[in-house]
Structure 1
Amino acid sequence: MISRHAIALRSVVCLAACASEPALAQGSVTLYGNVDEALVYTNNQNGKSNEYMRNGNLYASKFGFKGAEPLGSGLSAIFDLQEGFDPGTGAQQSAGLAFNRYAFVGLQDTRAGTLTLGRQYTPYYLLAGTLGPVTYLTGATGAHPGDIDGFDTDIRSNSSVTYTSPTIAGLRGSVQYGFGGVAGSMKSGSLFSAALRFDSGPLAIGAGYLRMNNTEYSGGFDPAASATFPHSALNSGYLSARTVQHVAALATYTIGNLLLGVNYSNVLYRPGGHSLFTDTAVFNTYGALASYRITTPFEISGGYSYTRASTSNGIHDAARYQQVSLRELYHLSKRTTLYTLQAYQHASGQTLGANGAGDIIDALPIVGDSQNTTPSSTNNQFVAMFGLAISF
């Protein structure tokens, strides 16, 4: 028979052992994601109409793991890993990248802010770009032509360090540096981004800056550089730029069920010794949008954008792009949404082809960022989608 003293001793030993183990129950890991697929009609893709399936139109098809472990005194260790995929084929969105969308680890303090390291989105997008057309019209058909100004989730920074401040009186800021990894030249292939965001009741204002540096790579923009950004017929003649710079200002204002927004972006492609063009190329985009929740499950959004390029590098009739986008949503539940998208774009003027200076071509329309590799062969392009998106 076991004595009371023995039972008490065993209890003390058990409690001591439990206390010595890490407090794993205090941490958390969450699996999350979206599955999104649609039927698509495009009136002209490189000269022919097309009917096909496309994923990630309303929400990017993705899954991820994120976690946090409280360390005490308001400090937590955090991480987030996210991969995109195509539910139509089961393939990775980017072959060879297990977590292509982002992968970072960091520390978060309720008073001092957040410091993260890894592959990340830029402050330019997170604090400013999210007030733009992609949030309310989608990137597939609502992003400005070819996502020329990076308001969608196309720009990511490898090997980057980001600091984001806490929100004080509605204002927060963030700054990021992406290492290029070129020996002997810290600037080569690097990225720098900074942004401010102000939220006060119905008003939200964001401003962002982004500078992406190329290396001495002569084949375009070095794929080994920190930055990745979208390529299309809009900017194919300028991919050999020494630097690519984005500046943007955006704002939204909410009145009951109605949200109104305006946005502006300025994109510069600056040449260098290895560039295939000689003059700085400029793209200015002006946009407006509105989103209205008609009933609890149904909402509609619309937007217009005008993009104009500069008359440089032998071009006298500058490229111009006008786009109208619509989005209709019916929420079957908090997680499941039926959607329809429509967009029309008209292009005029001229731009540079992939061979750079001397290769002057007619500007081709590219609706949103869903047609970056399939521009229309005429001055117009129309895209319509009907899809289903589920979040988990």
Structure 2
Amino acid sequence: MKSKTLNHGVLLAAMYGTNVFAQSSVTLYGAVDDAVTYVNNQKGHSNVYLRSGNLTTSVWGLTGVEDLGGGLATIFQVESSFDMNSGAATTSGLIFNRQAYLGLRDQKYGTVTMGRQYTPYFLLVGPLAPAATMAGAVGAQPGDIDSLDKTTRANSSVTYTSPVFRGLQASAMYGFGGNPGSIGSGQTISAALQYSSGPLGVAAGYLRMDNAQPGVVFGSTSSASLGTTVVNQGYLTASRIEDAAIAANYTIGALRLGAVYANVRYLPGNQSAFLDTAVFNNYGIFGTYRIRPDLESAAAVSYTVASKANTIQDRAKYLLFSLKQAYLLSKRTTLYALEGFTHATGKTLGASGIKTIVAAAPVVGDSQNLTPSSTPNQVVVMLGIASKF
């Protein structure tokens, strides 16, 4: 099925018989994805069920472009994700929970956009991380603790992205907290660089998310939206979260290799439910091989280790192995299999913060964020189909 594109210049000319100089279009796009999923242990029980949005998120959206002449254009994008198996939106109360932005794009000077957006940290570093190649369902760092999968966005944000110059592109964002009397309260700041030349791709990025109400779990008064998982649940009352990452990819024929390192810091405030800065060091390597034009296989190993802090000496460690096999039925439709195994050891904070120290619970990628295993191991196997339109 082809994307539905409406050319408003042609439409207006036909309706009113006038000369329309600026060309504009609106495009409907999306993806649907569903898989039979087996999990060996979800809170003590095995499960077989249908899970939506694995190889790619199930979404629909609209993009628009109006050519203003001289290389300048107005652009917008609105996007919403949904559950294939219930038809429900994945985020209650938000029509366009993924993205909703408007801006100007200039071929010479770059692009400025405003609204709800992904961060430059994710947009420039994320494509080189394992989650982008493996699928975040099994390939993201446990619970997407490094925000390099599609779980973090910034509301009320302004982003500037430069044109690509000799393989180099830069982007910076500021998200307004919007709290009267305290302009910086709840703000989000992000910046990133990406360089691509032939077979080599390198990127580095930074993300800072401030809590508008330190001591309260990140919520609607903060610019950043952040996912809750069993990996980070004890630290969500932080006054600030900082992520810094560097990633690199190299392609040799049909083989692509990649590596990423991310440092994540949860900084407490006076009213936070924990006392010391919590640090998560994240390492990942992956390889993908295109066996033939319609068949691809990939594998990744990721390791996350927390700092010794908040009275914890036996710090949490998470080791993740993931595999992917994908067969293209067409340019738009893919049959796939995903497999993930996570082993967790050590201790971490429970949802009540320093009042509850618990065993680190394994979660595979970001598909089991609130359904961890009751043992140190968790296994996930998915067989599915994804189609884009």
TM-score range, shorter chain: over 0.9
Aligned equivalent of 1:193, options 190, 196, 199? 190
1:234-287 CA-partner distances (Å, limit 9, x unpaired): 111100000000000001000000000000000000000120111000000111
Q: Give the aligned partner of residue 112 of structure 1.
A: 109
2:326 alignment partner in structure 1: 329
Which protein shows a greater Rg?
A: 1
Instruction: Answer yes or no: is 1:52 the counterpart of 2:78.
Output: no
User: Which secondary structure state, in structure 1, belongs to the residue aligned with residue 276 of structure 2?
Assistant: coil
Q: 1:214 is aligned with what amino acid?
A: N
**Would the aligned equivalents of 1:121 and 1:155 in 2 still touch at CA under 8 Å?**
yes
Q: 2:261 aligns with which of 264, 275, 288?
A: 264
Q: How many angstroms apart in 1 are the aligned matches of 2:176 and 2:256?
A: 38
Counterpart position of 1:389: 386
Alignment partners' CA distance in 1, 2:226 and 2:244 = 15
**What is the identity, as a one-letter code, of the residue corresponding to 2:129?**
G
Q: Under a length normalisation based on structure 2, what TM-score does the superposition of the two structures give?
A: 0.95
Q: How does 1:152-171 map to 2 (within 5 A)?
A: 152-171=149-168
In structure 2, which of residues 246, 249, 260 is the aligned counterpart of residue 249 of structure 1? 246
1:367 aligned counterpart, secondary structure: coil
- 1:90 paired residue number: 87
CA distance in 1 between counterparts of 2:221 and 2:181 reads 16
Q: Which runs of 4+ in 1 moved over 4 A?
A: none
Say if 2:372 is the partner of 1:375. yes
User: What corresponds to 1:4 in structure 2?
Assistant: none
Letter in 2 for 1:349: G
> Does residue 128 of structure 2 align to residue 131 of structure 1?
yes
**How big is each residue's C-alpha offset from its partner over 1:291-334, in whole Å with a ceiling of 9 and x where there is no partner?**
00001211000000110000000000110000000000000000
User: Given the alignment of the two structures, is residue 295 of structure 1 paired with residue 292 of structure 2, yes or no?
Assistant: yes
Of 222, 233, 237, 1:236 maps to 233
Distance 1:91 1:193 in 2: 31
Question: Aligned equivalents of 1:119 and 1:228: distance in 2?
Answer: 10
Asked if 2 retains the 8 angstrom alpha-carbon contact of 1:322 and 1:345, the reply is yes
Cα separation, 2, equivalents of 1:112 and 1:274: 44
Provide the aligned C-alpha RMSD in A.
1.3
Percent identity between the two aligned chains:
52
Looking at structure 2, the residues matched to 132 and 271 of structure 1 have their Cα atoms a distance apart, in angstroms, of 28
Q: Is the 8 A contact 1:189 1:222 kept in 2?
A: no
Whether 1:28 aligns to 2:25 is: yes
Q: Is 1:314–1:358's contact at 8 Å kept on the other side of the alignment?
A: no
SS of the residue 1:68 aligns to: strand
Q: What is the aligned residue count?
A: 376
Give, in angstroms, the shift of residue 208 of structure 1. Answer: 0.5
Paired with 2:203 and 2:333, the residues of 1 have a C-alpha distance of: 30
CA distance in 2: counterparts of 1:59 and 1:335, whole angstroms: 12
Specify the SS of the correspondent of 2:133: helix
What is the one-letter code of the residue matched to 1:333? Answer: S
> In 1, distance between residues paired with 2:35 and 2:21?
44
Which residue of the other structure, out of 360, 365, 370, is the alignment partner of 1:363? 360
Work out whether residues 216 and 274 of structure 1, in 8 Å CA contact, stay in contact via their aligned partners in 2.
no
Match of residue 285, structure 1, among 282, 285, 297: 282
Q: Secondary structure at the match of 2:354?
A: coil
For normalisation by structure 1, the TM-score amounts to 0.94
Match of 1:9 in 2: none
SS of the residue 1:136 aligns to: helix
Tell me if structure 2 keeps the 8 A contact 1:188–1:214.
yes
Give the aligned partner of residue 7 of structure 2.
none
Kindly provide the amino acid, as one letter, of the partner of residue 151 in structure 1: L
Give how far 1:18 is off.
Answer: 4.4
| Equivalent position SS for 1:37 | strand
Unaligned runs of 5+ in 1: 1-13
- Give how far 1:218 is off: 3.0
Q: 1:341 aligns with which of 333, 338, 361?
A: 338
